[in-house]
Amino acid sequence: MTDSHIFDDLCNPFDDDKLHEECGVFGIYGHEEAAALAALGLHALQHRGQEAAGIVSHDGRHFHSHKAMGKVGDNFSSEEIIGGLKGEAALGHNRYATTGGSVLRNIQPIFADLANGGLAVAHNGNLTNASTLRKQLVTEGSIFQSTTDTEVIIHLVANSKKMKIVDCMIDSMAKIIGAYSLVSLTSKKMIGMRDPFGVRPLVLGKLDNAYILTSESCALDIIGADFIRDVEPGEVIVVDDGGLTSLFPFTTPPKRFCIFEHIYFARPDSVVEKRSVYDVRKDIGQQLAVEHPVEADLVIPVPDSGTPAAIGYAEQSGIQFDLGIIRNHYVGRTFIEPTDQIRHLGVKLKLNANRALIKGKRVILVDDSIVRGTTSTKIVQMMREAGATEVHMRIASPPTTNSCFYGVDTPSRNKLLAAQYEVEEMCKFIGADSLSFISLNGLYVAMGELERNSEQPQYCDACFTGDYPIELTDQESGMAAELTLLTEHS
């Protein structure tokens, strides 16, 4: 483990035990302050990726770019940087690595000068045949500069025989298998595309006469833009000086939107697929209380993602809701030498028990998920050390038993606690008095469905069921392992 990784563990003691958000995209066309608005939009989408950020703009003649490791506020707060990103069109991206390593050359938007002009591409998701296509393209003479699957799209566009850039993009994406929301910028257009299954989110907004394509509605709120609608699965949106055009060039199977967007990924103040994320999470908590009641004195959320579900659980159960865990939002890179003793502090660097509230109480902890189980173990221990007489854990999602290959950085299956143990064994592992998960059908009920239709599920729930709606070409051929080795040595 490198020193930087040690510091990351100290700063982010939970991150190893969460499903990491995919990425965030923000494109705007037709506004004189395009780059500044893109930076604000990325700031609102910071939860989707904290590893790196980038913005590419176009001023009518030239493209401009700034990319850096770290968070948006650390890299796009100066007038000098924003002032250098000239033009009325800008495309931004927050990155959390899913395919490709954590290096500068993998930061999006990826830009290239093609035969028909410059092209910047930013995408959220994962292309499940990227390695297969990459090997084919390299054989045909393509030279790759990064290890991210987004660059595959650039090379496909460059090799397309179509004349117009929109047709080149459509021609290229027809060869792609995977889950994605994609926004690209040329000298004259902004193009947005969503995969035919609609797994990853993409919304359309407008500010004055400028159109916006972004991952979540909260990125529209921060700049005062109007939410227009969700981009439909398989839809292609083209924005240029003439306005907006909508195309549907792909056959669209039944929608399989990622159910984890509602459970954890999306910001609670976003509206996703016509539903308030906050309201959905409260409904999930209420259903969880119906399915798994327990006598207790307090309902305590695991900050911050467990809060709406905990409110719902408390409302349904009639048990008092309280903040029994206080989060330190100002944990930065520690100046303390990362000794074994300091590393052992773990979650205490970010969370602390509210001892005066907890002592002598039976508590219910509500969290969104359990991945490896390491965080849950430490929080249960924290409650006991604070004097809780009983600690019951309730999880606002079914057990996570399978890895995601659609743009979420999930541990390998053999590191998922629910893939290794039954619920009773998991309970013993984390040290709780009881542990319960919402049922799969209960989750669908909370989502507004009568139940899960096993013949045609309404969402992508592969992390719970292993039912992968999109072909896993690279995984099945072993090509994904080759790209992983390339990433590790790059």
Domain interval for residue 214: 22-256
Binding residues for Mg(2+): 305, 367-368
**Residue 195 confidence (pLDDT):** 96
**Residue 95 confidence (pLDDT):** 87
**Residue 487 confidence (pLDDT):** 41
Distant-in-sequence, close-in-space partners of 489: CB < 8 Å, separation ≥ 6: none
CB of 122 closer than 8 Å to CB of 108: yes
Q: What is the mean pLDDT of each run of 10 residues along the chain (490 residues)?
A: 31 50 90 98 95 96 96 93 98 75 81 94 94 95 91 96 96 96 97 97 97 98 98 98 97 94 95 96 98 98 94 98 89 52 64 95 97 93 97 98 87 90 98 98 95 93 96 79 41
Given 11, 23, 218, 427, the catalytic residue = 23
For residue 369, give the amino acid letter: S
User: Does 90 fall in a domain?
Assistant: yes
Q: How far apart are CA 90 and CA 239, in angstroms?
A: 12
**Residue 338 confidence (pLDDT):** 54
**Residue 427 confidence (pLDDT):** 98
- SS3 label, residue 40: helix
**Residue 102 confidence (pLDDT):** 53
The CATH number linked to 136 is: 3.60.20.10
CB of 66 closer than 8 Å to CB of 76: yes
Q: How far apart are CA 222 and CA 47, in angstroms?
A: 14
* Active site annotation includes 218: no
- SS3 label, residue 261: helix
User: Does 319 fall in a domain?
Assistant: yes
**Residue 78 confidence (pLDDT):** 92
Binding residues for [4Fe-4S] cluster: 258, 404, 460, 463
Residue 409 DSSP class: B
Four-point Cα dihedral 262, 265, 270, 274, nearest 10:
-30
**Residue 477 confidence (pLDDT):** 75
Q: How far apart are CA 401 and CA 125, in angstroms?
A: 20
Residue 316 sits in the same domain as residue 457: yes
The CATH number linked to 435 is: 3.40.50.2020
- SS3 label, residue 93: strand
Residue 434 sits in the same domain as residue 285: yes
**Residue 344 confidence (pLDDT):** 56
**Residue 331 confidence (pLDDT):** 60
User: Does 267 fall in a domain?
Assistant: no
Binding residues: 258, 305, 367-368, 404, 460, 463
CB of 300 closer than 8 Å to CB of 322: yes
Edge to edge, the sheet with strand 190-194 lists 110-114, 117-127, 178-185, 190-194, 236-240, 243-247
User: Does 412 fall in a domain?
Assistant: yes
Q: How far apart are CA 421 and CA 435, in angstroms?
A: 13
Which of 122, 100, 141 minimizes the C-alpha distance to 480? Answer: 100
Q: For the range 58-64, what are the long-range contacts, defined as Cβ-Cβ under 8 Å and sequence gap of 24 or more?
A: 58/87, 58/88, 58/89, 58/90, 58/118, 58/185, 58/186, 58/187, 59/86, 59/87, 59/88, 60/87, 60/88, 60/187, 62/86, 63/111, 63/118, 63/120, 63/187, 64/35
**Residue 334 confidence (pLDDT):** 46
User: Does 336 fall in a domain?
Assistant: yes
For residue 115, give the amino acid letter: A
Residue 176 sits in the same domain as residue 289: no
